[in-house]
Amino acid sequence: MGEKTEPSHFPFKNLLASYLKIDRELIIVFLLVAITGIIYFLVSNQQAFLNFFYLPVLIGAYFFGKRYATLSATLSVIFIFALAYFYPRSFTSSTDNSLIKWLGIITWGGFLTITGYLMGLLYEKKEDANREIKKTYQGIIEMLSLIIDSADKHTQSHSYRVSIISEMIAKEMKCPEKEVEDIRIAALLHDLGKLGVSSEVLNKLGKLTTSERESIKTHTRIGADVIKPLGGKVIQILPDILYHHEKYDGSGDNKIGGEDIPLGARIIAVADVYDALISDRPYREGLVPSSARNEIITNSGTQFDPKVVKAFEAIFHKLDFEVPLFLAKLDIH
C-alpha cells in the first residue's frame, strides 16, 4: 500500500522514445525523400527529375549503410509509383503510351534500388576496414603501454589506471567522444618517454640526485619526440603528453599555465598524480585514497585546474570499483 505505479501508457511512451532515438537515421532518410518529392511539383521535366532521387539514396548509403540506402530507394520507388498511378499523365510525353511509361519507371526503380544497396555495401565494407585499423591501432597503443610500465618495476599498470581515471574525468566534463578517446590514448602513452630514461634511475631505491630528477623530467619531451615522426592522428595527442606535468599556475618547467595547457594534459595531470599518490614506492607507502583525494583538492588552482579537480571529485566514489573492474576485463593486475 502506498506504492506508486506508473500509468499504463508509460511503457508505450518509453518504447516510442527508444525507437525514435535508435532510428533517427531512418527519419532523416524519410525527410530527404519527402523533400525531394516536394521538389517534384516545382519542376516541369518530370522524367529528368527522377534522377534527383539518387541524392537521398546516395546520402543514406554514405552515412548510414545499405539498410538505409535500400529503404530510401524503396520509399522513392513507392512515391513515384503512387504518383504515376494516381496521376496517369505523369512521366509521359505526347508520344509515350502507358506501357512505355511503366517500363521506364520500373527500370529506373530497379537501378535506384541496386545502386542504393551496392553503395551502402561499399560503405559498410569501408567502415569494417576502419574498425579493423582502429582495433589494430588500439592494440599497438596498449602493447606500448605495457612496455612503458615494464620499464619501471615500481609502477606496474600505472598507465592503464591513469588512462581509466582520465577517461572517467573527461566523460564527467562532457568532452566530445573523440576527445575522450584521444585523452584515453594520451594517458596510456603519457610515460612513453621513460623508455629513454636509464632503468637504473627509474628503479633506484634511494633518493634521486638533482641530475637524476632532471633526467626523469625529460621523459615528457622524449615521449613527444618519439610520437612526432608518426604523424597522422597520433600527432593530435602529442600536446597532452608533452604538457601533462605543467602546473595550472604556470610555475611548471615550460612556464605555461591555465587554459594554455591542453585540457587533456590537465586531466592526465590529476589522474597521474592521484595514482602515484596511492601507489607504494620503495621510499614510502601509498596514501589511502581519501588522503590522496584531499591532496589533489589542496593543490586545486595551483598545480591542477579547478574544473578538472571538481570533475575528479564527482567520479572519486566510483574509482574503487570501476578501475579494478576495467583492469580485470583486460586481465591486468
Mean pLDDT, range 301-328, rounded to an integer: 85
pLDDT at 200 over 90: no
Percent of the chain with pLDDT over 70: 59
Instruction: Answer yes or no: are the C-beta atoms of 139 and 145 closer than 8 Å.
Output: no
Alpha-helical (H) ranges within the chain are: 9-22, 24-40, 46-49, 54-64, 66-86, 98-151, 158-172, 177-188, 199-202, 210-217, 219-227, 238-242, 263-278, 289-298, 306-329
The mean pLDDT value for 122-140 works out to 73
Please write the tens of the pLDDT for every residue from 45-95: 556 667 777 877 887 787 777 777 888 888 888 888 888 888 777 766 655
265, three cell numbers: 594534459
pLDDT at res. 10:
45
Q: What is the mean pLDDT of residues 255-280?
A: 92
pLDDT class of 285 with cuts at 50, 70, 90: confident
Let me know: does 14 contact 21? Beta carbons within 8 Å: no
Looking at the DSSP bridge assignments, the partners of residue 300 are 304
**Per-residue model confidence (pLDDT) at position 215:** 56
User: In this predicted structure, what is the pLDDT of residue 16?
Assistant: 46
According to the model, what pLDDT value does residue 331 have? 56
Q: Which domains does the chain have, with CATH numbers?
A: 9-90+97-128 (no CATH), 152-329 (1.10.3210.10)
Look at 314 and 284; give whichever has higher pLDDT.
314
Rounded mean pLDDT of the chain? 75
